[in-house]
Amino acid sequence: MKSCAKLVFQTSALLLVLVALQPVIFASVDDAQSFALQAAEPYVKQGFQVREDYWGGDLGSGEKKAVRQQLFKGNEYWFWLGTEVDKAKVSVHVYDSDGKLAEEPDGWEKGHFAGAHVIPKATGSYFIIVSVEESPEDRTHWALVYGFR
């Protein structure tokens, strides 16, 4: 009986700890996506269609990831990067298939959000380079969404 009470106490304590740590343990790429979509919101009013699909993962401070994407001349694109890590600093930049910077000068970085604007000069493959510049976490979730008009 005594051991049963002990087990209940231990399980309850474990559950309490889990509940307390929930935001840390279960923070995910989905949270990062919510931030990326938040960054995209103002642009929807300007007529940008935001894709439902998104790309994400986790990176350490100073690490980068490239996403290859087909862009079409005639369209205008914005890429938005987000992370749920409050004090992280992220960036996103777009290069053409020759490695030349292909974005407009109005891209921005605001803490855990960043945006890059592209009006492709040619139809073809482009590289979207996402980066976690600084972060208090070992690994930082990121999510990239894009919109076009």
Partner 1 sequence: MIPFTRYLKLGVGVLCGLALCAGAAQAPQHINIKQLATRVEDVVVPLPNEIFGALNKLGTVNWKQHVRSDKGPNFTERPRIALLLGTVIADGFIAVQAEDADAVKDIGQRVLALAKGIGVGNSITPHAKAIIEAADKRNWENVRRELDRTQNSVQQAMNEVHDEKLSQLVSLGGWLRGTEVLTSVVKEHFSSDGAELLHQPDLLSYFQTRLQAMPEFNLPIIRQIQDALVEVKPLIDVGDRRIPPESVKKVNEITTRLGHGIVTRD
- Paired with 127 in beta bridges are 68, 95
The residue count of the chain comes to 149
Shortest separation between residue 33's beta carbon and partner 1, angstroms: 12
CB of 116 to partner 1, least distance (A): 9
Q: Which two tokens stand for residue 52?
A: 């439902």
List the interface residues with partner 1, window 68-107 (CB under 8 A). Answer: 68-70, 72-75, 89-91, 93, 95, 97-101, 103, 107
How far apart CA 132 and CA 112 sit, in angstroms, is 9
DSSP class per residue in 33-72: HHHHHHHHHHHHTTTPEEPS--EEEEE-TT-EEEEEEEE-
- Rule CB under 8 A: say whether 48 interacts with partner 1: no
Among 62, 86, 110, 119, binds partner 1 (CB under 8 A): 62
What is the contact surface with partner 1 in residues (CB under 8 A)?
49, 51-53, 55, 62-70, 72-75, 89-91, 93, 95, 97-101, 103, 107, 109, 114, 122-125, 127, 129, 131, 133, 148-149
